[in-house]
Amino acid sequence: MTQSLAASAAPRSASWGLCWLEGAGAAILLSSGLLWTELSRTHIDEYHRLLPLTTVARALAIDLVLLSLAAMLLVRALERLTATKEARSPRRRLVLLLWPLWLGLLAARATAGLIVAQVIWWQQVTTGRVFLLLAVLLLIIWLAAPEAYRGAVRFARGAVMLIGFCIFWMVPVLISAGLAHQPWDRAQFVKPLPAAEAPHRRIVWLLFDEMSYDQVFAHRWPGLELPNLDNLRAESTTFSDVEPDGFYTEDVIPSIFLGNPISQVIGTPSGSMLYRPAKTAPWQGFDGNHTLFADAQREGWTSGAVGDYNPYCRILKDQLDFCWMGMPPLPDHFSRNKTTFENVIAPLAANWTRLFERKARLHPAPGPSSVTDLPEVRAGDALINDSQIDLCFVHLPVPHPPGKYDRRTGKLRDGGSYIDNLALSDRILGHMLAEIAASPSAERTTVILSSDHSWRTWLWRHSYGWTHEDEVASDEGHFDPRPMLMVWFPAETAPQTVSRPVPLLSMHDMVERIMHGDIESPRQLEAWAAER
């Protein structure tokens, strides 16, 4: 009986060619999550990274080939081990478990890559659960139906082999990306400016990513104190029914800059931006000369932008006099500053770090300890304190999930809820308002507070980082679409609320009119809103 079980459980040896294809499929599944985003035809990951990424693309191609060869040898070794005829030996019984472990590892690593690439968002899906699901399923088949075990393993290996055919297009695509011409991004710059002939109006536009009017004012979490938002509201014009322009930062903010709707954004191999105003409309290039900042330039205004995620210093390099952008870091120790060889071994360095992760937790690298230590806040301070810049745009990455603050201790940390992030946003606002008040042009400064979209509960509810407090605060995932919009004029001390619906996209026209001096008071702003 044992001999019959062992014979039926041993998958038949494949040729070297088929083993190589299986190894290529395994390599694709084992590769870094960056591989999935680099292969995207939309080039959206390149659009959101500091360029150039050519050495990274070349390294990914080399890693994929080397990993496929290593996986091929491993598959061949597994075949030899499981092909032994010593059916009754304890070794035989143990080596039969290697196939479920190997296939479970491939499934778990593929899941990890898709999580890094943000293809998988659901917090219920973890690498450990995927590994156990596949490995345990195969083990159950082995124990309950030995005759079917061989077929199950062959089926799983066949699926991996079919994935291996993808290497024939993946490697050429990566090589092509590695040979593409990409600019060397400047993450920040300040252009020399002549002394202003005479002081004039100034606008400081603070955009808090994913801030919800509903959560801030309409249905605030009980006991949540937001004193700076409340104080600003007591002296500002607040729009209580702003209609969203979209639900993704990469679409909404450029659309406000242009004053035209944007339905979708993609990148190009060179890092440029393409967009279309509707799903069926043709693609067109983003032109910085048609933005608010270009209009400011033509009016003799200077302008600056600080922000995360969108490549402001690349797409607006000719229109901005001051710029800082914080782009998402590459995973697995890849870097544009490394050579191709250094990036080839970068995943090994990442895995080495993970092996000693416990030691790293005992001696963590120092991170931001206060609000003023956040890089985007420091950059915003520098922009606000540069009295030569007239139009200041500061895009802040809060209260955008995941949580990064503990409102009970007042300390920055990983974790927390959207409510915690709202408290952090209020602290940052208080700091920014203090910087504005202390600036030489405070008496001439109009402050705009807005958000690009509301809290997207439909996106985050089943994603990583969603907390019980989020569930309760959102009333089990209820989505209120209203983003924030508040405007404070110099010397304004009374509150005003505009309750009629106002499209967020109309902010383009509003900023233009404030810049031109057509809107200088709450009454003029209310009259403008009545025209929308």
Give the model confidence (pLDDT) of 49-95 as tens digits.
999 999 999 999 999 999 999 999 999 888 887 775 544 555 555 66
Burial class for 241, CB neighbours closer than 10 Å (0-12, 13-18, 19+): middle
Res. 3: pLDDT tops 80:
no
Helix (H) or strand (E) holding 305: strand 303-308
**Two structure tokens written together for 16:** 């070297």
State residue 450's pLDDT score. Answer: 98
Over 90: is that where the pLDDT of 243 sits? yes
Q: Residue 2: pLDDT band by 50, 70, 90 thresholds?
A: very low
Tell me how far apart the alpha carbons of residues 202 and 302 are, in angstroms, rounded to a whole number.
10
Percent of the chain topping pLDDT 90: 70
Mean pLDDT in the chain? 90
Burial class (CB in 10 A: 0-12, 13-18, 19+), 20: buried
Q: Is 118 left (phi over 0), alpha (psi -120 to 50) or beta?
A: left
Q: What is the mean pLDDT of residues 386-411?
A: 95
Q: pLDDT of 467-484, one tens digit each?
A: 999 999 999 999 999 999
State pLDDT tens for residues 291-325: 999 999 999 999 999 999 999 999 999 999 999 99
Name all contacts of 75-78 with Cβ < 8 Å and 24+ positions apart. Answer: 75/19, 75/22, 75/23, 75/26, 75/157, 76/16, 76/19, 78/102
Whole-number pLDDT of residue 429: 98
Residue 409 has pLDDT above 80, yes or no: yes
Which of these, 206, 180, 285, lies nearest to 452 by C-alpha position?
206
- 11 compared with 46, residue with greater pLDDT: 46
Q: Identify the burial level of 511 via C-beta atoms within 10 angstroms of its C-beta, where 0-12 means exposed, 13-18 middle and 19 or more buried.
A: buried
Q: Is the pLDDT of residue 21 over 70?
A: yes
Q: What is the 3-state secondary structure (H, E, C) of 184-244?
A: CCCCEEECCCCCCCCCCCEEEEEEECCCEHHHHHHCCCCCCCCHHHHHHHCCCEEECCEEC
Domains with residue ranges and CATH for the chain:
2-179 (no CATH), 188-321+356-530 (3.40.720.10)
113 vs 526, which has greater pLDDT? 526
Residue 194 binned pLDDT confidence (cut-offs 50, 70, 90): confident
| CA–CA separation, 467 and 469 (whole Å) | 5
pLDDT for position 370 = 78
CB-CB contact of 400 with 420 (8 Å): no
Q: How confident is the model at residue 122 (pLDDT cuts 50, 70, 90)?
A: confident
User: Could you report the per-residue pLDDT of 203-219, keeping only the tens digit for each?
Assistant: 999 999 999 999 999 99
Closest CA to 396 of 443, 446, 431: 431
pLDDT of residue 13: 55
Joined tokens for residue 287: 């032109």
Lowest mean pLDDT across 6-15, 122-131, 238-247, 394-403: 6-15
Question: Is the pLDDT confidence value at 437 over 90?
Answer: yes
Are the beta carbons of 515 and 299 closer than 8 angstroms? yes
Banded model confidence at residue 253, pLDDT cuts 50, 70, 90: very high
Tokens 């009454």 belong to residue: 523
Tokens at 530, concatenated? 């009545």
Average pLDDT on 377-400 reads 96
Name which residue leads in pLDDT, 497 or 371: 497
Helix (H, G, I), strand (E, B) or coil at 485: strand
At 476, list the tokens.
Answer: 């089990």
Q: What is the spatial distance between Cα 470 and Cα 419, in angstroms, rounded to a whole number? A: 7
What average pLDDT does range 410-416 have in this prediction?
Answer: 91
Question: Which has more pLDDT, 291 or 121?
Answer: 291
Residue 399, preceding peptide bond in cis (omega within 30° of 0): yes
pLDDT at 1: 42
Give me the residue label for tokens 């014979």: 7
pTM for the full predicted model: 0.90
Q: Measured between alpha carbons, how far is 364 from 132 in angstroms, rounded to an integer?
A: 31
C-alpha angle 227-233-239 in degrees, rounded to nearest 5: 135
Average pLDDT over residues 184-191: 96
Q: What is the pLDDT of residue 112?
A: 85
The tokens of 171 are what?
A: 């490697």
Give CA–CA dist 525/111, Å, rounded: 51
pLDDT at residue number 162: 95
Residue with more model confidence, 117 or 509: 509
Residue 90 has a pLDDT of 58
For the chain, how many residues are written?
532
Is the Cβ–Cβ distance between 464 and 121 less than 8 Å? yes
The share of the chain scoring above pLDDT 70, in percent, equals 91
